[in-house]
Each structure stands twice: as C-alpha cells, then as structure tokens.
Amino acid sequence: MKKELRLMKGNEAVAEAAIRAGADGYFGYPITPQSEILEYLMEANPAETTGMVVLQAESEVAAINMVYGGAACGKKVMTSSSSPGISLKQEGITYIAGAELPCLIVNVVRGGPGLGTIQPAQSDYFQSVKGGGHGDYHLIVLAPASVQEMADFVDLSFELAFKYRNPVLMLSDGAIGQMMEKVYLSPQKERSKVFPDWATTGKPATRERNIITSLDLDPNGMEMHNHKLQAKYNEIREKEVRYEEFQCEDAEYLLVAYGTSARVCQKAVLLLREEGIKVGLLRPITLFPFPTKRINELAGQVKGILSVEMSAGQMVEDVLLAVNGKVPVKHFGRMGGIVTTPEEVVENLKSKIIGG
Amino acid sequence: MIEATGIKEIIKPENLVYRKTKIMTDNILSYCPGCGHGTTHRILAEVIDEEDLQSQTIGVSPVGCSVLLYNYIDVDIQEAAHGRAPAVATAIKRLLPDKFVFTYQGDGDLAAIGTAETIHACNRGENILIIFINNGIYGMTGGQMAPTTLPGMKSSTSPYGRDVKTMGYPLKMTDIVATLPGTYYVTRQSVNTPANVKKTKKAIRKAVQYQKLDKGTCFIEIVSNCPSGWKMTPVQSNKWMEENMFPYYPLGDLKIPEK
Amino acid sequence: MTEEIIIAGFGGQGVLSMGKIMAYSGVMQDMEVSWMPSYGPEMRGGTANVTVIISSERISSPVIRRFDTAIILNQQSLDKFESSIKPGGVLIYDSNGITRHPERKDIAIYRVDATEEAARMNSSKTFNMIVLGGFLKVKPIIKLENVIKGLKKSLPERYHNLIPMNEKALQRGIEIIQKV
C-alpha cells in the first residue's frame, strides 16, 4: 500500500504513527517540548476510529502506572514525556522492566539537570541505556534522527517490546520533536484482538490465574528472575543492534553520534571531506544494544574517534569500552540546550583528534 | 470428646453448613491472627464466586500487608507500585471496559503515597471498585505512623503518640472522595462482627452491580484492626478499634445513589 | 541547491506560519525541507523565529546559526540576526518600527514595507504573505503556484476562502519589494 506523504513535527509524527500502528492506549502529562503528542492525539480522537484510549493523567507517575496496567493486559500502550517527566516515571519503568511488560516510552529530551531548559539536549543517555530506575535492567533504546524515524520507530518499538516482553524507549530530543520534515506514513494497522497468554484479561476455567508482579520475597527466586532477565538482554545484544554508516569505507577518522548530533556530524563529514580529510560517521540507531562490535572493527581502521553528543560526555564511555584502547577517543559536545554546529565539530575533530 | 469415627460420620455433604469459596486458593494466609485482611479477602472472593465473576475479574494489589493478595484470590491480578493501584486500574478498565476491576489498598498506600492517584481516579469517575483497608498504621513495614493514625496514638515513628501539631491530623480520605462528583457509592464498613461482615459483603456486592451499570467509582473503606502493629491481642484490638477508631471513622454510607 | 532561511519577528506576526507555507511549498516541488521553530515561553508575547531549510539533498542539521537569507520583521530580530547572514547572503526586512536600519555591506538588503501595504489593503492578516511575496521575487527557488498549493495544504479547509486574498498579497509583495 502506498505511504502517505505529510509535513509534520516529530511529535505529531509519533502521535499519528501510534494511531496507525494500532496502539491501544496512550497515557501522558503535558511538558515542553513534547506536549504536541498528547495534543495531537486528543485532537485526532482515535477513540472514534480505531478505539485507541487517550488519557491525560494527573501526573507523570500516574501516566506510567497506567501504562503498567494497560501493558499487563497485553495491550499496546505508550507514554511520552521530556526529561524531568521521564525522571518521575522511573519508578514505573523499573516495575515494568521487572514484570517484563511490553510498552513504548518516548523521551523528547531537554537540557538538565533539574528543571533545566526546554531546548534540545542529549544528557539523558545514561538514564536511558544504563537502567534509570533501581535494579539490574535495560530498556531497548532507539534513537530517531528524523521526523521519518520518529514515525517509523513507533511500530518498530511495539514489535520489539512484544517480541522480548521488554519496555522500549525512543530517545529523541527537542529539535526532532519540534521540527517539521517530510514524513511518509504507513497505512492504518488493525488493533490486535489476540492477547498474549501471560496477560491479565480475566481468568477462564481453562488456565491458571495470571499474576503480573515484579516481587519475589525469596532471594533465590529473585536471583533466578535476574538471570532470566540478563539472558534476555544478552539475546537483545546479539540480535537487535542497529546503526547507520556514512562515508566510513575509506575513513581515517571516525565520528560517533546519534539523533540530532548525528545530523550535525553528517554535515561536518561533508565539510571535512571538502578539505580532503577522510572522515566517516557511525550513527547508533539502537543505544541499547550499543553497536560495540562495529565500533571496535572501525577502530582497527581509523586513527582516532570523536564522540559527539549534546551532553558532558556520556555515550563516549560506551565508545571507549568498544574501542578498548585501540585508538584515541575524545568527546565533544555542547550542553544545557545548545545544539552543536557542524563547524564546531570540524574544529574539535582537528584539535582533539587529528592534531592531538 | 468426639471419636475419630464420629468425625467421619459428621463430614457428609448433607451436614455441610459452610465451605471455603473456591475463589480463595489453598495458600496459607500471611496475615497475623485476628487481622481484618483475611476476612475481607474471603468476602471479596465469595462475592466474585457468587456473582460468577472469576473469568471477568482483574484485581490490583498494593504495596503493604496485602501485597501478596495475588497468592490468595484465584483471579488475574496485577501487583502495583506503592500507591499507584488506582492509576493501574484506570488503564485496565479503560482498555477492558467489560471486566470487573478492583483495587485493594491500605491506608499508607491509598491515603499517603497514593493520594493523588486516589483522588484523580475518583474525580474522573473511573468505573472501578476501590477497597480501602484502614487500620491506622503501616503494618508490613513494622508499625509506623500512617496518615490515618489517630491523635495521640503510638506507633514506631510516633513513639510518644501522634502530635497533630507536628504530624498533622488523621486524614479522612473517604469523606474527601465522597465530595467528588465522580464517585457513585462511598461507604465505611468494618468486619469486626458477623453482622458487620454481612454488611460489608453487601456493600461489595452493590459495588459490583454499579460497576456493571457503568456508574462511576465505588469506594469502600473498611475500618480494621492491626493486633501486631497496635501491640494488642486480637480481642483487645477489636475493642480498641470500636472505642477509638469508630468515633473518628464512623461506620455507614457517606454517599449512596439517588433513588 | 540548499537554501537556509531564518524568519524572525514578533509572536503574532505570522512568522511560524510563513515558514510553514514555505516548507509546504518546498514539499510541493518535491524538495527536502525542514522547519525548526523557536518554542516555549520565548514565543509568548516576545520574539518568534523559525529556521526553514529547503534543499535538493537530504538535510543534515536542522539547527543552524548561519543563514543564506534572513527575513526580519522587528528591531530585536534585526539586532540579533543581521550578523548571522552569510557573506553574499540576503536580508529582507520590513522597515515598520525599525530605528536602526541594517548596516552590512557584504550582503544584499531588500525592503518590503508589508505592514504599511497590509494596512493599505485593509487586510492586516495577509501581512506575512506580502513579505513572502517579496522573498519569492528575490529568491525564486519556490514557485508561486506551489506556494498556493502549499497554502491549501497548510490551511484548514474552513479557511480556503481566504486563499484568493492571500494570493493577492503575495503578488503585492512581489511588486513592492525593493533593493536598498
């Protein structure tokens, strides 16, 4: 079926894609720069068309717990927020991870810490890929770099979430959420009428009752559960790594960047190549699992790597682990809601890596 | 003294006067002797059984003594984070509107950490049943002061008695939610006597009917005892409850459907 | 071909919607576009700006600090963005309320007195379309017919009766813009 072309904000694309993906429920709370997601859904009123439930909760905390309740019924449910709101959701997220429930969480990141700013940032990387709440767990983390990917990754997120019974986080930022670009929208999917066998949908006589919990008072049982979770994360590391390479074939230097920073770096690659400097860009699409293996391979080819993020240097730690000392790795990034420019990347690659 | 053979003669179907409902599992309850949770679980399970709701029920258990509710009642159950049961139940009911959805929460869960979720679920008139066990104390964590602890009442975090000047006043959540247009049926009951057990069971049955009719939030507070937390025998605790809790939390309906 | 544009003025002058119509027009011409607004409290009552990029290639960074063209609609924005125009670039401004006029010598400066013209046409709401008309004259990267198509796409159907008036305003802008 032909895809429909629209000009949309990243936030609107997430909302429209959720309806089209056959999502059953969205639960959210307003916060800049992502409120358009809830606004768009309220305006679209999918209850009348697909039957999707859209609810403005009393808090981020309530919203994520609504996601817990809906996900435990085997439904395709989601929430979205921006950094301070995502911090509030962490309790719910760790329960969801512990109870192994599928869902989608969208973070349209703004600068922090604290109330911070409403401008785009990438300073929630650690929170996203290392856990965020308490306990040993991981989210699957997808990093869209365009409005198109904001739409496409909604469906992909639900697919991965149900495949692994694991929450998926889309780690976006204020720039991608707020900007408009062309987007090709997938046709409407039917909402699923079948429930996974673990879902709490009312116990028929034919099965045991389903219990959704993250609690096991017996430490031996809890350790077993943790082993099971870790085995799942390892399987995800094995099978679900996604990344994009830009002009890496003959690269002597490598930029690693995701999301908005990757787009800035793409321009920087072009500027540097105009000067005859052979630079490539590796853009992780999944941040967990991280493209460790591929970065390690590229480290065997290049003379040095610059990790570019709109943060004080978070992803660079994963790049360092991947490179494992093969070549120098440095970080460059602006903070507090300032988007890096291609010229700054050029300058920093020269001073920190080429001349360093 | 009845001989063993005599017992065998007595245990016959025609002599049966009471049987544990099949909706209660055979797991041994973790509750202390004399605690109101066991009785409340039983009558809730009985109503689910008698109304033939097992395949239609989704329950939400809290954090607190009744966190393990899912071990005892044979229906699909979700265990919620502390205080969040009304938010969890909101989504369940919205996504599965034909099911019977209840939360079962204590006073710390519902009236302290979950105040916002409780008020807002009731204010939206979510078509769910909230069962609120109020025993004036945090039982599971070892007898700390709850929002419903009475003035002067001793607990491990109010060892000299609750001083309302510094610790605030006991919170009457049931009175608060009764004022909200979203609630349909709000009542305060107890399970301390056979008569009160019957009344509470009747209240739960009413709430089931109202939920079928999509009437809005039903809220049943059950004023209960905590022999361990109160450091009393079961009999003493019931007496203390009647003499001290009931005057502050008087039993009866706070909001009933208009005829 | 890549054109990087900033439009800046007061909130309520139709800055964001002008950018949106430009972006839609680019889509109508099968080009890549990005539209990146200033957002948040900055918008309310104060200045508003939007970066529009129209390109024949995939657009890399949507957030830029140097522009091919700046369309400036108040003094604050002139002060803020005059220095951000690339040498050889274009500055289009409405002189209404401007006390310090642009001073750069290495860029082409155009004046489009759209506020006055809109008042004369008795249709203050088409102010931004007069400005856009001026842009079309100076930088004919998007065609007028595609702007009309873009208008149709970006305006809710209930406002489609306003399209002829907007078209007239675009024409007027094309006529009145002049090089300084």
pLDDT in tens, A312-350: 999 999 999 999 999 999 999 999 999 999 999 999 999
Contact between B45 and B21 (Cβ < 8 Å): yes
Q: Which residues of A touch C36 (CB under 8 A)?
A: 175, 178-180
Average pLDDT over residues C47-74: 93
Which of A27, A50, A56, A58 has the highest number of chain B CBs within 10 A, making it the mutation to test binding with B? A58
**Short-list B199, B242, B195, CA closest to B220:** B199
Cis peptide bond upstream of A33, omega within 30: yes
- The reply to whether A202 falls in a domain is no
Sorting pLDDT into bands at 50, 70 and 90, what band is B5? low
Can you tell me the distance from the alpha carbon of B58 to that of B87, in angstroms, rounded to the nearest whole number?
14
Q: Give the closest-approach CA distance of C109 to chain A in angstroms.
A: 26
pLDDT tens profile A284-306: 999 999 999 999 999 999 999 99
A92 and A153 inside one domain: yes
A261 and A233 inside one domain: no
Q: What is the pLDDT of residue A309?
A: 98
A139 and A270 inside one domain: no
Contact between B111 and B249 (Cβ < 8 Å): no
Q: What is the pLDDT of residue C153?
A: 82
Q: What is the CATH number of the domain that holds A154?
A: 3.40.50.970
Q: Strand, helix or coil at A207? A: coil
- The reply to whether A251 falls in a domain is yes
Tell me yes or no: is domain C2-179 CATH 3.40.50.300.
Answer: no
ipTM over 0.85: yes
A127 and A34 inside one domain: yes
Across the interface, do C27 and A7 touch by the CB < 8 Å criterion?
yes
Smallest Cβ–Cβ distance between A32 and the set C27, C39, C59 belongs to C39
Across the interface, do B87 and A211 touch by the CB < 8 Å criterion?
no
Across the interface, do C61 and A342 touch by the CB < 8 Å criterion?
yes
Lowest mean per-residue pLDDT among C89-98, C127-136, C142-151: C142-151
Instruction: Indicate if the pLDDT at residue C155 is higher than 90.
Output: no
Which of A53, A88, A200, A206 has the highest number of chain B CBs within 10 A, making it the mutation to test binding with B? A200
Across the interface, do A263 and C61 touch by the CB < 8 Å criterion?
yes
CA B32 to chain centre: 15
Contact between A253 and A306 (Cβ < 8 Å): yes
pLDDT tens profile B160-206: 999 999 999 999 999 999 999 999 999 999 999 999 999 999 999 99
pTM, two decimal places: 0.94
Can you tell me the distance from the alpha carbon of A215 to that of A222, in angstroms, rounded to the nearest whole number?
8
Can you tell me the distance from the alpha carbon of C98 to that of B202, in angstroms, rounded to the nearest whole number?
77
Smallest Cβ–Cβ distance between C35 and the set A180, A260, A270 belongs to A180
Across the interface, do B79 and A61 touch by the CB < 8 Å criterion?
no
> To which H or E segment does residue A27 belong?
strand A25-28
Contact between B137 and B144 (Cβ < 8 Å): yes
Instruction: Indicate if the pLDDT at residue C41 is higher than 80.
Output: no
Residue C114 has which token pair? Answer: 């759209």
**Short-list A146, A170, A177, A176, CA closest to A286:** A170
Q: How many CA atoms, within 13 angstroms, populate the side-chain half-sphere of residue C178?
A: 4
**How many inter-chain contacts (A to B, CB under 8 Å) are there?**
125
Domain limits for position A175: 4-196+227-239
Q: Which chains touch B (3 or more CB pairs under 8 A)?
A: A
Neighbours of A313 (CB within 10 A): 17
A269 and A232 inside one domain: no
**Short-list A268, A294, A278, A262, CA closest to A346:** A268
A120 and A146 inside one domain: yes
Across the interface, do A95 and B81 touch by the CB < 8 Å criterion?
yes
pLDDT tens profile A23-35: 999 999 999 999 9
Q: What is the CATH number of the domain that holds A350?
A: 3.40.50.920
A157 and A114 inside one domain: yes
- The reply to whether A85 falls in a domain is yes
**Short-list C63, C70, C65, C72, CA closest to C13:** C72
Beta-bridge partners for B137 = B145
A105 and A252 inside one domain: no
- The reply to whether A205 falls in a domain is no
Instruction: Indicate if the pLDDT at residue C85 is higher than 90.
Output: yes
**Short-list A107, A109, A130, A108, CA closest to A121:** A109
Q: What is the pLDDT of residue B9?
A: 83
Can you tell me the distance from the alpha carbon of B24 to that of B40, in angstroms, rounded to the nearest whole number?
11
Q: How far is CA A28 from CA A61, A125, B53, in A?
A: 9, 21, 31
Residue-range domains of chain B with CATH: 31-255 (3.40.50.970)
Looking at every residue in chain C, the average pLDDT score rounds to 92
pLDDT tens profile A38-72: 999 999 999 999 999 999 999 999 999 999 999 99
Average pLDDT over residues C99-104: 95
Nearest residue in chain B measured CA to CA from A217 = B68
- Residue that has been written with the tokens 């996601």 in this structure: A67
Q: What is the number of domains present in chain A?
A: 2
A184 and A289 inside one domain: no
A48 and A135 inside one domain: yes
Q: What are phi and psi of A350, to 5 degrees?
A: -65, -50
- The reply to whether A70 falls in a domain is yes
A28 and A85 inside one domain: yes
> To which H or E segment does residue B137 belong?
strand B137-138
Q: What is the 3-state secondary structure (H, E, C) of B215-244?
A: CCEEEEEEECCCHHHHCCCHHHHHHHHHHH
Which of C16, C63, C153 has the highest number of chain A CBs within 10 A, making it the mutation to test binding with A? C63
